[in-house]
Structure 1
Amino acid sequence: MFRFLALITVVAAVFFAATQLTAKDAPEGWVQYTPEALAAAQASGDPVVVDVFAPWCPTCRAQAPILDELRLDDRLADATFIKVNFDENKAFLRAHRIPRQSTILVFKGRTEVARSIAETNRMRLRAVVLNAI
């Protein structure tokens, strides 16, 4: 029994470590959040879509293909898409009153024009983002 529990513990630790290592970089086409990256994107005047995610979040994983689809939409060709890691950017969360991971924000300049929390329905999430631009 002890060996079984030890094996489960090791497997869980390896899985957790692997997700943490791969979560550091933003996916292709996305900008990894820094205060400077957000400020520059907002200063451009183009729309900014911010995905507040956590690598362990199943809702975030469900949102990811919808957001990638939006990123490739011609209507958002000028938009900047920024990933904010929920576990690593607490100052951003406080400044923008983010209640949880899986929150999507849309900015025009420095003004937040749309927000979605934990939405995984493709049509509703697309509507929130596209209606804001």
Structure 2
Amino acid sequence: MLDRRALLLAGIAAVLPALAAAAEHHAYTPEAFAAARKAGRPILVEITAPWCPTCRAQKPILARLTAAPQFRDLQVFEVDFDSQKEAVRALGARMQSTLIVFRGDTELGRSVGDTDAGSIGSLLGRLT
């Protein structure tokens, strides 16, 4: 019994650093987005819709990529395409499944409708 507990604790201890390294995810608000930009934080904006199959395909790719240690400072803001039209317009997006990366006030790149892990990784790579 003691060996199982020790093994379980060792497993938990191994996973915790990886969880701590993951990017921070936030619901988009203009105030939080502005604060992250002002702080010069690396930012990913996901413009998504629950009915969008491309957005659903992007989710696991983004979850895997943003869990990497190099993205521990990344702030991820999710914008709902249907209910946050003002934010969509302010970001210059025309459709859901748009990904935009910023460092501070500078937009470093964007993609629309991309579900290729390699090219999404390249987009995020502009932040490192």
Normalising by structure 1, we get a TM-score of 0.75
Q: Distance in 2 between matches of 1:132 and 1:118?
A: 20
**For residue 53 of structure 1, what is the aligned residue in structure 2?**
48
Match of 2:84 in 1: 89
The equivalent of 1:110 in structure 2 is: 105
State how far apart, in whole Å, the 2-side matches of 1:72 and 1:132 are: 14
Matches of 2:24 and 2:51, distance apart in 1: 21
- How far the C-alpha of 1:60 sits from its partner, in A, is 0.2
Q: Which residue does 1:120 correspond to in 2?
A: 115
How many residues matched? 106
Quote the Cα distance in structure 2 between the aligned partners of 1:118 and 1:41. Answer: 25
What does 1:2-21 align with in structure 2 at a 5 Å threshold?
none
- In structure 1, the partner of 2:94 is 99
Q: Please report the RMSD computed on the Cα atoms of aligned residues, expressed in angstroms.
A: 1.5
- Corresponding position: 1:78 with 2:78: no
Gaps of 5+ in 1: 1-27
**Unmatched tracts of structure 2, length 5 or more:** 1-22
Deviation at 1:40, TM superposition (A): 1.3
Q: Contact (CA 8 Å) 1:59, 1:118: kept in 2 or not?
A: yes
Deviation readout 1:83-116 (Å, 9 max, x if unpaired) = 1100011111111210100000001101111101
Q: Which moved more, 1:89-98 or 1:60-69?
A: 89-98
Match of 1:65 in 2: 60
TM-score, normalising length: structure 2: 0.78
- Distance between the aligned counterparts of 2:83 and 2:106, measured in 1? 23
Structure 1 CA distance, aligned partners of 2:24 and 2:123? 20
Question: C-alpha separation between the residues in 2 aligned to 1:34 and 1:108?
Answer: 17
